Amino acid sequence: MRIAVIDGQGGGIGKHIVEQLRKKMPELDILALGTNALATGAMVRAGATEGASGEAAICYNVERVDMIVGSLAIMMVHGLLGEVTATIATAISASKADKIVLPIQRGNILLVGIQRTPLPHQIEALVTEVEERVKG
């Protein structure tokens, strides 16, 4: 199974996701997709199998993976700090890959009914969900 981890800015959240996925499932094929080279590099150093950066790379690769993981803020909200274009958000949304997202709330987006838990716990829950689907 091929999994894309998508992140932006410095790749901090993606880095932690990749580290935990690699620890639980060392055989996993993880593709780091960063909105910029800094984010991609952080995820590759954390253990991603390979990486690619930028709008074209993200749009091309989201159609070629089985699962996409990342934060809701980076995946579905275009214009976030100027990194996620409408084209990226559309490509991710349109991809047939399963999507598992962290409900990180940024800007003027409020997700009602979501329990507010620390980010490490959210990442742990995401990794557990991925593991169940991969081994399922």
Which sequence spans correspond to the domains of the chain? 2-135
Q: Is the pTM of this model over 0.85?
A: yes
Q: Which of 12-21, 75-84, 109-118 tops mean pLDDT? A: 12-21
**pLDDT per residue over 93-113, tens digit each?**
999 999 999 887 766 777 788
**pLDDT per residue over 57-96, tens digit each?**
999 999 999 999 998 766 655 555 667 788 888 999 999 9
Q: Specify the CATH number of the domain 2-135.
A: 3.40.50
Closest CA to 88 of 53, 59, 54, 51: 59
pLDDT band at 49 (very low <50, low <70, confident <90, very high): very high
Radius of gyration of the chain (CA): 13
